[in-house]
Amino acid sequence: MEYLVLARKCRPQNFDEVVGQDHAVKTLRNAIHQGRIAHAFIFSGPRGVGKTTVARILAKALNCEKGPTETPCNECTNCREITEGIAMDVREIDGASNRGIDEIRELRENVKFSPLSSRYKIYIIDEVHMLTREAFNALLKTLEEPPAHVIFVFATTEIQKIPATILSRCQCFEFRRISLKQIKDSLRRISEKEGVQISEKGMTWVAEAGDGSLRDAQSILDQIISFAGFEIRDQDVEEILGLTDRRFLYRLSKAVFERNAGLCLKIIEEGYYAGLDMKYFYQMLIGHFRNLLLTKIVGKDHDLLDLGDEDVASLTLQTGGVSQETIQRLLDMLMAEEENVRRSQNPRINLETILVRMAYLEPMIAIDKLLSRMEGLEKRLTSGGTVQVKPSSYELKETGAVPSQEQELFKVAQSGMVDEVHRGYDTAEGKIMEDIWEDLKGFVKKQSPPLFSKIEPGVFLGYENRRLKIGFHKDYIFLDDITEKAQKERLTEISKAYFGDDVTVIIESLDTEQYSRHNKNHNSVTNNNKNNDARRDALNHPLLQKVLDVFDGAVVLEVTTRGGNDDSVKS
């Protein structure tokens, strides 16, 4: 007897045996039970998920001698002929090779004749999207008002290529990818029936290789049986499926997490000489880091991953000491370079460069941990303890996490420290408070760019007992504007939001010597005076005053000196 491959031998013969398409099966069964059979159906979805199989089962259910019935007997003449593909009243047409208008015209002539021995004349057109535009147009009228004894079933993997005029005349069913668990269960039943011994790990690998297609998974299992016999070892599955590539993935991610760029390059070299396709491997690497991220997010609830328990355990082990933010950043880096790798003439170099950057990426710290440290900082400041960490509240608001090297520990005694900050920037204490000032200015810039431009030249004099002291040169052109009630209230409001506490802002006027001592850039006093004179002249320029008169509500945000007498005013 002729050998039948598993995909044909184990093909479902009734609705109960269909795997993973419950929504379509339930609708069709109810339609048969209620006598509401449409004259045209479209089954769309990926390859190997059961579109043509369900079309045949539907044909048997409608033409069974005991029907129409939800459960065809598979024993009567009509059922057996449809199963064997020799039924005269059920025609299966390949849309790819019968795509012209002549074939459709012939079909239009044939539909007029009554079925020979069945209840319905059923046309199953596979890959219907391959029909030409003229063929679709010729089919329209017949499809809209076919004879009562004719039913059309169209199967396609690319429903977007079918004209809307055809779709509107059909009932459309979208067939879905079959889950890993459902494919494994089906393969397990087949293996038991065929007397095949294969481990759970090997079964998982075969199901994963099917990529949502039960037919593909069955074909792969058939191939492995031919290679290894009925006692299949894990090594046999690895060899057939080329799963050695997966080992490189886990080794690479481990090296990246350990920040070992040299090992990353060595692994790529091994993979290159082992015959890896670098472009294909890059896609696998993206998928691997996607699985790592999902594992970190969903934890034990790994249904979203559609992976075997052993793979999930390996992924969980790798991500144990890595933050979710770090994995997300690494995946973003891979995806950002995907197009460049795809177009590259030498993808190995692209891959090496990306992996080196990934390996040198500073680990990211979770937002909740940073907020916890900030709370600890606040408690220590309140209680007079020791300050250990100064994370950036502004960066926390903007990015949700900051690199760990920005959290270097500075041990600063609160008592006496704030009073001494304004005396210089040579100490670690002064450096920390200057960081606070720079951070505060960044926060102000996001909240009010005009206000930031006015306080930017200021110097930090201290923060003690909820009193923030800021100094400006006595000749600063915006000094009066900053000390104005409305501007000062706005600055106080933003400072409260930054510190998370009531803050009193104190503006002090400094002479040239004081300003130079506190200014961290140690700008030349002479140059500072010249710049102030230039800014003052620019503000009093008649042309600027005319612009302010023409544009109602316009204000000067910043005056920038570009050298010489060439002054730039931003408004």
Burial of 300 (0-12, 13-18, 19+ CB in 10 A): exposed
Q: pLDDT-based confidence at 393, cuts 50/70/90?
A: very low
Q: Is 99 helix (H, G, I), strand (E, B) or coil?
A: coil
For residues 124 and 156, the answer to whether their CB atoms sit within 8 Å is: no
Give the lowest-confidence range in 227-231, 477-481, 546-550. 546-550
Kindly state the tokens that stand for 79. Answer: 């059922």
- What was the pLDDT predicted at 262? 92
Q: pLDDT-based confidence at 377, cuts 50/70/90?
A: low
Residue 100 and residue 131: Cα distance in Å, rounded? 6
Do you know the residue count of the chain? 571
Pick from 171, 159, 158, 215: which is nearest to 190 by CA? 215
- What was the pLDDT predicted at 379? 66
**Which among 344-348, 383-387, 558-562 has the top mean pLDDT?**
344-348
How far CA 523 is from CA of 454, 459, 515, 519, in Å, comes to 18, 12, 9, 7
Q: Domain for residue 272, yes or no? A: yes
403 has a pLDDT exceeding 60: no
Kindly state the tokens that stand for 417. Answer: 């420290």
| Same-domain pairing of 39 and 103 | yes
Give the lowest-confidence range in 10-24, 42-56, 476-490, 537-551. 537-551
390 has a pLDDT exceeding 60: no
| Cα 473 to chain centroid, rounded | 51
Residue 103 and residue 88: Cα distance in Å, rounded? 17
543 has a pLDDT exceeding 50: yes
| Cα 373 to chain centroid, rounded | 30
Q: Which residues contact 168 (CB under 8 A, 6 or more apart)?
A: none
Tell me if the bond preceding 12 is cis, omega within 30° of 0.
Answer: no
| Same-domain pairing of 73 and 25 | yes
**Mean pLDDT, residues 449-467:** 82
| Same-domain pairing of 126 and 164 | yes
Percentage with pLDDT > 70 across the chain: 77
373 has a pLDDT exceeding 70: no
Q: Which residues contact 330 (CB under 8 A, 6 or more apart)?
A: 256, 289, 358, 361
**Residues linked to residue 124 through DSSP beta bridges, in sequence order:** 92, 153
Q: pLDDT-based confidence at 321, cuts 50/70/90?
A: confident
Element (H, E) at 246: helix 244-257
**Residues linked to residue 558 through DSSP beta bridges, in sequence order:** 570
Pick from 88, 93, 92: which is nearest to 78 by CA? 88
Q: pLDDT-based confidence at 400, cuts 50/70/90?
A: very low
| Same-domain pairing of 262 and 337 | yes
For residues 387 and 414, the answer to whether their CB atoms sit within 8 Å is: yes
Residue 490 and residue 493: Cα distance in Å, rounded? 5
- What was the pLDDT predicted at 325? 86
CATH number at residue 219: 1.10.8.60
| Same-domain pairing of 184 and 51 | no
Pick from 291, 286, 249, 255: which is nearest to 271 by CA? 249
Pick from 79, 73, 69, 74: which is nearest to 32 by CA? 69
Backbone region of residue 490 per phi and psi (left: phi > 0; alpha: psi in -120 to 50; beta: other values):
alpha
Q: Domain for residue 419, yes or no? A: no
| Same-domain pairing of 215 and 152 | no
| Same-domain pairing of 127 and 229 | no
| Same-domain pairing of 31 and 159 | yes
Q: pLDDT-based confidence at 385, cuts 50/70/90?
A: very low
pTM of the model: 0.58
Residue 94 and residue 189: Cα distance in Å, rounded? 31
Residue 546 and residue 542: Cα distance in Å, rounded? 6
Number of Cβ atoms within 10 Å of the Cβ of 510? 20
Q: Domain for residue 490, yes or no? A: no
| Same-domain pairing of 169 and 20 | yes
**Mean pLDDT, residues 310-330:** 85
| Same-domain pairing of 190 and 167 | no
Domain boundary among 211, 241, 271: 241
328 has a pLDDT exceeding 60: yes
Domain boundary among 122, 145, 174: 174
- What was the pLDDT predicted at 535? 60
**Mean pLDDT, residues 79-83:** 92
Q: Domain for residue 154, yes or no? A: yes
| Residue 228 domain boundaries | 180-241
- What was the pLDDT predicted at 488? 87
| Same-domain pairing of 227 and 323 | no
40 has a pLDDT exceeding 90: yes
Single-letter amino acid, residue 86: I
pLDDT tens sequence across 360-369: 888 776 666 6
Give the lowest-confidence range in 262-266, 275-279, 425-429. 425-429
- What was the pLDDT predicted at 145? 85
548 has a pLDDT exceeding 90: no
DSSP assignment of 367-397 equals HHHHHHHHHHHHHHHHHT-EE-----HHHHH
- What was the pLDDT predicted at 370? 65
Pick from 227, 220, 228: which is nearest to 204 by CA? 220
Pick from 247, 253, 406, 268: which is nearest to 348 by CA? 268
83 has a pLDDT exceeding 70: yes
Q: What is the 3-state secondary structure (H, E, C) of 128-171?
A: HHHCCHHHHHHHHHHHHCCCCCEEEEEEECCHHHCCHHHHCCCE
Q: Domain for residue 451, yes or no? A: no
- What was the pLDDT predicted at 162? 92
406 has a pLDDT exceeding 70: no
Q: Domain for residue 231, yes or no? A: yes
For residues 341 and 347, the answer to whether their CB atoms sit within 8 Å is: yes
Q: What radius of gyration, in Å, describes the C-alpha atoms of the chain?
A: 37
Give the lowest-confidence range in 5-19, 237-251, 345-359, 427-441. 427-441
For residues 259 and 359, the answer to whether their CB atoms sit within 8 Å is: yes
Strand 459-464 to 412-413 pairing: unpaired
Q: Domain for residue 281, yes or no? A: yes
Residue 370 and residue 376: Cα distance in Å, rounded? 10
| Same-domain pairing of 25 and 136 | yes
What is the overall mean pLDDT for the chain? 80
Higher per-residue confidence, 219 vs 376: 219
Single-letter amino acid, residue 252: L
Higher per-residue confidence, 512 vs 10: 10
Supply the DSSP symbol for 215. H
CATH number at residue 278: 1.20.272.10
138 has a pLDDT exceeding 50: yes
| Cα 82 to chain centroid, rounded | 45
Residue 383 and residue 372: Cα distance in Å, rounded? 17
Give the lowest-confidence range in 21-35, 268-282, 436-450. 436-450
Domain boundary among 307, 341, 359: 359
For residues 44 and 156, the answer to whether their CB atoms sit within 8 Å is: yes
- What was the pLDDT predicted at 485? 83
Burial of 121 (0-12, 13-18, 19+ CB in 10 A): buried
Burial of 330 (0-12, 13-18, 19+ CB in 10 A): buried
Domain total in the chain: 4
pLDDT tens sequence across 142-200: 888 888 999 999 999 999 999 999 999 999 999 999 988 899 999 999 999 999 999 88
Pick from 442, 444, 421: which is nearest to 432 by CA? 421
Q: Domain for residue 352, yes or no? A: yes
Q: pLDDT-based confidence at 397, cuts 50/70/90?
A: very low
**Residues linked to residue 138 through DSSP beta bridges, in sequence order:** none
457 has a pLDDT exceeding 90: no
For residues 437 and 476, the answer to whether their CB atoms sit within 8 Å is: no
